[in-house]
Amino acid sequence: MKRSRDWSLATVVSFHCTWIVALFMGVYGAVETWALGGAWTDALFRHAFHVALISLGLLVILNIVLHRTVARPIARISAQLYRLGAGAEEMEPIETSIREIQQIVRGIELMRKRRRAGETGSLRESAQPALEELREQAKRIHSLDPETSRAVLETTARLQGILDSAS
């Protein structure tokens, strides 16, 4: 069954907590009325205001706190993952005081570093045979044209330096 609307984690948790508190406060009012005796209509009006006011306050406060501490960092992590998937090299810092979200951020940073190291390593592996071939060819033409051979060897050394600094 497909839902017509997706809800934020903060909203879902806030509503569930609010309904639980309202339910237990309502049960408390019913038990108090039964134990102490009294009219159900009086108890209903006496407790209904308290239940509604506390539930509304709880709903608003939980929603704000969960959006700020959980939902927004998760949305930023999701955006960060999409950017990394699209090939972005750098990450924007994600500041949070939630330990589990910090662990996710550290995992993303580690993944980014390993991906970068893997790309550099594969670049070096694919370029190394071509550099060796250039060195061999420079040595073969050394007897025919020492100046060109020296230029090719210097260029090969510069390319090797670029590959070394990239890793």
Residue in the block written with tokens 């497909």: 2
Q: At what angle do helices 72-85 and 99-141 cross, to 10 degrees?
A: 10
* CA distances (Å), origin 24, targets 31, 56, 113: 10, 15, 50
Prediction pTM value: 0.55
Residues 6+ apart with CB under 8 A from 74: 9, 101
| Assigned token pair, 28 | 């408390």
Any idea where the domains of the chain sit in the sequence?
7-97, 118-167
pLDDT, one tens digit per residue, over 72-122 is 888 888 888 888 877 777 777 788 888 888 888 888 888 877 777 666 556
> Is pLDDT of 1 > 70?
no
